[in-house]
Amino acid sequence: MDFGAAIDMSCLQKQRSSYIPELPNCLQGGEIQIEMGEPTTVADSVDAQSIQRCFPLTYGQPLVHFVNSLSQSSLISSHGKEQQAVKIGVVFCGRQSPGGHNVICGLYNAIKSHNSNGSLIGFCGEDFFDDKFLNSVRDQQYNIFPYVLKTGGTKGLFAKDTVEITEEIISTYQNQGGYGMLGRTIDQIRTTEQVNAAIAACQSLSLTGLVIIGGVTSNTDAAQLAETFAEAECSTKVIGVPVSFYGDLKNQFVEANVGFDTVCKVNSELVSNLCTDALSAEKEIHALLKKETPTDQISANLSPWASALFESMPAFLKRQLLLSPDSDESAQLSQIETEKLLAKLVETEMEARTALGHVVYHLIAAGVNGYMATVTNLKHDVTQWRCGGAPFTAMMTVRRTLRGPGSSLVGKPSIHPVAVDLKGKPYELLLRDAERFLTDDLYANPGPLQYKGPGSDSKTISLLVEDQDYMGKVKELQAYIDKVKKIVKPGCSQEVLKVALSSMASVVDILSVMSPPSKSHNP
């Protein structure tokens, strides 16, 4: 199947493709404008020098905020009039994840709404097998060619294998899963040969911007690509989008990854179905246990459904389920580690809709390079989401390791994957109810994914209990600083000046303790 080609859709897919996601208020209307914040730094001051040395041209860039000028004033730049036509390239990197297609759909709609002459180019891949292999397969008359001739992804970027995204393609893939529109291959743009091929492709196609859709590794590569483009004075701007079902691309700027919310909901449905159906299956299992059937033969003696259910369970759950029944011949549910099962199958995150696609367009139209598109304040209604961009370098850390005895600590600046925060609110909530998980059936069956109505826009518990919105808090702090500047001006009273000095001195002292100039690193 050629990338971007029409696909046969079920009635449900057709209904889903007609859904138009709602945009945040800051992205609605024709007067979308840009606020440039203060220059950024990094979370650990020890890493600053290493990161700046590796990224001298893209380090320290300011945060970018989008504001609808209908409700704001004194803004830096306006997109109210028809903009200059842009030509943007987009490539899928890394493993496929729900929501990738909608990023492209949002980007396409933003391009066309600001100038109908703008275009979106997808990098869709090259032949997967060499001619020798293909000829040998043809000789054996295997009918596999409609499905394996193309690979997509970064190899398409290197080979300049493109397809222009059209309204027909958008209508086919909007709100659909997978990466079928463009495909994907290896998830790296790292070697000198690969980087040079990317530069050559962007220059040859005269691209205004290049959009990298992927996870941790892909966005780290995008950061290096942006720096190299700037060094080579390539006019193409590089923007990354956090799309990963792992949900591990999280930091102070990125609250959640595109697609992880869907993964969470699907797994929650599977877990709840398992919990519900196990109430029936356990009767068969314990009837066999009562007959002293060997545990390694349990599955073979069950009905097909109960056997499939039993075999789908993790090993630890099988062992706990097969403990000797209680006196009433029921399973020892108190010994089953429900929270361990949930931790194995369920994670956290958000739904992205098409907002990030619009964010990408506005970042490129603003001429910024080396940024990741961000959407924050996600626990609130979509109309209240905050949109903008953060420099790749502000998300980086340096993990230092010893190469050998007596060697110094070495490390490379990267955007690193983030594990579960054992001090975070979601984990605290888990621990709070841990005792109840041991004795009670604490689960609710959400049913299948809902496209509309109750449950269609539900958010994960972890997202609701986290109070992140880093970008919003930065803006709030800046607003307070601006108010202080307006109040404490030359000519203000002595009392006002004294209070301001005392308060500011206390704030600086506290922040100096919380943010020491250096930190020790253990190997």
Output the tens digit of pLDDT for each of the chain's 523 residues. 455 566 677 777 777 777 778 888 888 876 778 888 888 988 888 888 889 999 999 999 999 988 875 444 444 444 445 678 999 999 998 777 888 888 999 999 999 988 899 999 999 865 444 455 445 545 554 444 343 445 568 888 898 988 999 999 888 888 887 788 888 776 678 888 999 999 999 999 999 999 999 888 899 999 999 999 999 999 999 999 998 877 888 888 888 888 877 777 777 777 777 666 666 655 555 555 555 556 566 666 665 656 666 666 666 666 666 665 544 444 444 455 544 544 444 333 334 567 889 999 999 999 999 999 998 888 888 888 889 999 999 999 887 665 556 555 567 889 988 887 888 888 888 888 888 877 776 666 666 666 666 666 777 777 777 777 777 788 888 888 889 988 998 888 889 899 999 998 998 888 888 775 544 443 3
Tell me the chain's radius of gyration from C-alpha atoms.
Answer: 27
Q: C-alpha angle with apex 7: 2 to 9, nearest 5 degrees? A: 165
In the chain, where the domains are located: 11-71+83-263+345-402, 268-321
Q: For the structural domain made of 11-71+83-263+345-402, what CATH number should be given?
A: 3.40.50.450
The CB-side HSE value for 465 (13 A sphere, CA atoms) comes to: 11
Q: Tell me which amino acid residue 352 is.
A: A
Question: Residue 97 carries which DSSP code?
Answer: -
Are 79 and 35 within 8 A, CB to CB?
Answer: no
**CA–CA gap between residue 494 and residue 418 (Å, rounded):** 49
Give the contacts of 278 (CB within 8 A, at least 6 positions apart).
Answer: 309, 321
Are 360 and 241 within 8 A, CB to CB?
Answer: yes
Q: What is the pTM of this model?
A: 0.72
